[in-house]
C-alpha cells in the first residue's frame, strides 16, 4: 500500500517554495553566516509585517516565519533582498554555529563549505538531489555537529600531517559509515562524485541509499578511524566562556517558537549592551557574540523577561514540540501540553531524555525515536514508548486527562528511580507495561 501523501514530511519550505500550514504559509530561511543585530531585528519586523509575528528556530538552526499569505511571500522576499540579508539556498551545507570563533575547533569549515556550495551551483548538468539532503562540514569545537544526522559528513581530524577530513555517509558521527580520509584539496572532487551518483539514483535518493563499501573500495584510502564514541550533547542556553574575553550568550526558544515583539525587544537590548553579531544555533537557539561577561548576565534578565531559555537546567530544554494547532494536520495543542509537562514533569525532565510532543503521526519535530512520544490522535492522546510518532502507540488517554497522565508518569519515575539513577535509565528498566499503565490509569 502506498503511504498517505498527507503523512509525508515533505520538502523544505523556502521563500521560493513556501509550505501551507494551519496558520498560513511558512518559509524557512538559512542565513548565509552570522546576522548583525540590525539584520535579525529587520527579519522580526518583516515577520510582523508580512506574517502573523511568530518565528521559530528549528532543531538544525534554521529560521522560520509563519502566517504568511500568497500575497505576502513575494513582498517578504523583496524586503529581505532590499535589506541585503544574505540567505542561502540549494543544498543544505551545515557548519557548527561558532565556526571561526571557537578556539577549540580543529579547523574553520566555512571556506570548505563555500567551495562545495560553489561547485554544486556550477555543476553541469544541474544535479537533481533530494530536497532534504544535507551535508555537514564539522570543524569540531565545543558546539560541534557530531550528533546531527546528515547524508554526507565531513569531520575534521587533526594530527602531525595537518588537517584531514573524514568523509562518511548516512547519519550522525557515531553511526555514519566512513568511506574516505581526505586532504582538503581532495574533498570537493570526492563529494561531487558522490552527489553525481545520488543524482543518478533519482530525486529521492539519500545518503543511506549509497553503497558505502563500494565507495570505500573505489577511494582505496588508508585505514579509516574507528566510529566515533558517544559524544556529549550540548545546549545553547547559558553563558559560555571561550577564554581571552570570548563570551557567548546562548539563548533557547521555549518550544522552538517566539513572537516577533519579544525578539525585537531582545535584539534592541543586547545591541545596546554591545552585541556585535547573532548566530542561529541547532536545538532552537541563538548565540550572541560581543558582550562582556557582565553584559551577558544583564542580557539574561532581559531574555528571561521575554520567556527565552537562559540555562541548560531549564526543563523546557528537554521537550521537543511541533507547531501543534498551527498545522492543519495536528490533532493536539502541543504547546499547551508542553506547558503542562514542564509544570508537572520535574522528575522526567532531568536532562537524560527528550520527551517528544507531536501533533500527528508525521513526527516533524523529531523524526528519530524518543523514550516517550506523545501523539495527537482522534480519540485523544497516544503514548509511544521508545519509538517515533509513526509507530503503534502503547497507551491512550482522553484529551481532558493529559495533564493528569503526564503527572502520573512523573510520579512513576519519582517513586521508582534509584539513587543517582536518571529518568531514562529508570524508564528503560521499568519497560513499556508499567509506563503505559501509569499513563492510562484513571
CA 427, CA 352: separation in Å to the nearest integer?
Answer: 11
Contact 312, 251 (CB under 8 A): no
In the prediction, which pLDDT does 219 show?
65
**Least confident range of 194-203, 212-221, 317-326, 382-391:** 212-221
Percent with pLDDT over 90 in the chain: 83
pLDDT band at 220 (very low <50, low <70, confident <90, very high): low
Contact between 79 and 50 under an 8 Å Cβ cutoff? The reply is: yes
Q: Which of 21, 10, 66, 18 has its CA nearest to residue 359?
A: 21
CA 96 to the chain's CA centroid: 12
Instruction: Give the separation between CA 79 and CA 335, rounded to whole angstroms.
Output: 30
What are the angstrom distances between the C-alpha of 346 and each of 6, 383, 404, 423? 35, 19, 14, 10
CA separation for the pair 266, 305 (Å, rounded): 9
Mean pLDDT (the chain) is 92
pLDDT at 196 (0 to 100) = 95
| 9 or 271, higher pLDDT | 271
Contact 85, 43 (CB under 8 A): yes
Encode pLDDT of 152-179 as tens digits: 999 999 877 789 999 999 989 888 999 9
pLDDT digit string, tens, across residues 90-139: 999 999 999 999 999 999 999 999 999 999 999 999 999 999 999 999 99
* Per-residue model confidence (pLDDT) at position 224: 81
pLDDT at 245 over 60: yes
pTM: predicted TM-score of the whole model, two decimal places: 0.91
Task: Give the pLDDT confidence score for residue 441 in this predicted structure.
Answer: 85
- For 289, the 3-state DSSP assignment is strand
Furthest-apart CA atoms within the chain: distance in Å = 65
- Kindly report, residue by residue over 35-57, the tens digit of the pLDDT: 999 999 999 999 999 999 999 99
- Report helix, strand or coil for 397: strand
The answer for residues whose C-beta is within 8 angstroms of residue 38's C-beta and 6 or more apart is 271
Tell me the mean pLDDT in the region 56-67: 95
Instruction: List the beta strands (DSSP E) in 226-284.
Output: 238-241, 247-253, 257-259, 277-281
Residue 361 DSSP code: T
Averaged pLDDT, 418-425:
96
Give all domains of the chain, ordered by start, each with its CATH number.
Answer: 5-90+236-313 (3.90.480.10), 98-219 (3.30.413.10), 318-440 (3.30.413.10)
Lowest-confidence pick of 7-21, 80-94, 199-213, 375-389: 7-21
pLDDT at 67 over 50: yes
Cross-strand partners of 309: 252
The 10 Å CB-count burial string (b at 16+, else e) for 245-279 is eebbbbbbbbbbbbbbebbbbbbebbbebebebbb
User: What's residue 226's pLDDT?
Assistant: 67
Helix (H) or strand (E) holding 33: none
Give pLDDT tens digits for 71-80: 999 999 999 9
* Phi and psi angles of residue 399, each rounded to the nearest 5 degrees, phi first: -55, -35
Q: Which residues contact 373 (CB under 8 A, 6 or more apart)?
A: 355, 356, 357, 358, 363, 366, 383, 384, 387, 388, 389
The per-residue pLDDT for 221 is 53
Higher pLDDT, 231 or 299: 299
pLDDT at 415 over 80: yes
Q: What is the pLDDT of residues 358-410, one digit of tens each?
A: 999 999 888 889 999 999 998 889 999 999 999 999 999 998 899 999 999 99
What does the pLDDT read at residue 8? Answer: 41
Q: Is the dihedral of CA 67, 70, 75, 76 positive or negative?
A: positive
Amino acid at each position: 500500500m502506498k503511504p498517505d501523501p498527507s503523512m509525508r514530511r515533505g520538502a523544505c519550505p523556502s521563500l521560493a517554495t513556501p509550505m501551507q500550514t494551519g496558520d498560513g504559509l511558512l518559509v524557512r530561511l538559512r542565513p548565509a553566516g552570522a546576522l548583525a543585530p540590525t539584520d535579525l531585528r529587520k527579519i522580526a519586523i518583516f515577520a510582523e509585517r508580512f506574517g502573523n509575528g511568530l518565528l521559530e528556530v528549528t532543531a538544525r538552526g534554521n529560521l522560520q516565519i509563519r502566517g504568511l499569505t500568497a500575497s505576502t511571500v513575494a513582498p517578504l522576499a523583496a524586503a529581505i533582498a532590499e535589506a541585503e540579508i544574505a540567505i542561502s539556498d540549494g543544498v543544505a551545507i551545515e557548519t557548527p554555529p561558532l565556526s571561526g570563533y571557537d578556539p577549540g575547533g580543529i579547523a574553520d569549515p566555512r571556506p570548505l563549505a563555500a567551495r562545495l556550495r560553489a561547485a554544486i551551483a556550477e555543476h553541469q548538468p544541474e544535479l537533481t538531489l533530494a530536497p532534504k539532503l544535507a551535508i555537514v562540514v564539522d570543524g569540531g569545537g565545543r558546539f560541534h555537529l557530531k550528533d546531527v544526522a546528515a547524508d554526507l559528513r565531513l569531520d575534521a581530524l587533526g594530527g602531525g600531517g595537518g588537517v584531514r577530513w573524514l568523509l562518511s555517509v548516512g547519519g550522525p558521527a557515531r553511526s555514519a559509515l566512513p568511506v574516505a580520509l581526505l586532504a582538503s584539496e581532495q574533498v570537493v572532487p570526492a563529494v561531487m562524485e558522490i552527489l553525481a551518483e545520488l543524482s543518478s539514483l533519482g530525486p529521492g535518493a539519500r545518503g543511506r541509499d549509497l553503497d558505502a563499501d563500494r565507495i570505500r573500495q573505489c577511494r582505496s584510502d588508508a585505514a579509516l578511524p574507528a566510529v566515533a564514541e558517544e559524544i556529549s550533547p550540548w545546549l545553547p542556553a547559558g553563558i559560555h566562556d571561550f577564554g581571552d574575553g570570548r563570551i557567548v550568550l546562548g539563548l533557547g526558544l521555549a518550544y522552538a517558537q517566539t513572537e516577533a515583539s519579544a525578539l525585537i525587544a531582545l535584539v534592541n537590548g543586547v545591541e545596546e549592551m554591545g552585541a556585535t553579531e547573532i548566530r542561529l544555533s541547532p536545538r532552537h537557539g541563538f548565540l550572541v557574540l560581543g558582550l562582556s561577561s557582565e553584559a551577558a548576565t544583564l542580557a539574561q534578565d532581559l531574555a528571561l523577561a521575554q520567556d527565552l531559555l537562559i540555562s541548560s537546567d531549564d526543563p523546557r530544554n528537554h521537550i521537543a514540540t511541533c507547531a501543534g494547532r498551527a498545522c492543519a494536520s495536528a490533532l493536539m495543542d502541543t504547546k499547551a501540553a508542553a506547558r503542562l509537562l514542564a509544570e508537572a514533569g520535574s522528575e522526567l525532565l532531568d536532562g537524560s531524555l527528550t520527551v517528544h510532543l507531536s501533533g500527528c503521526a508525521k513526527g516533524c519535530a523529531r523524526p528519530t525515536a524518543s523514550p516517550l512520544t506523545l501523539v495527537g490522535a482522534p480519540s485523544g492522546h497516544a503514548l509511544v514508548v521508545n519509538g517515533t510518532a509513526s509507530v503503534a502507540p502503547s497507551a491512550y488517554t482522553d484529551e481532558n486527562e493529559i495533564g493528569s497522565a503526564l503527572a502520573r508518569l512523573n510520579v512513576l519515575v519519582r517513586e521508582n528511580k534509584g539513587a543517582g539513577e536518571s529518568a531514562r535509565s529508570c524508564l528503560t528498566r521499568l519497560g513499556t507495561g508499567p509506563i503505559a499503565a501509569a499513563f492510562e490509569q484513571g
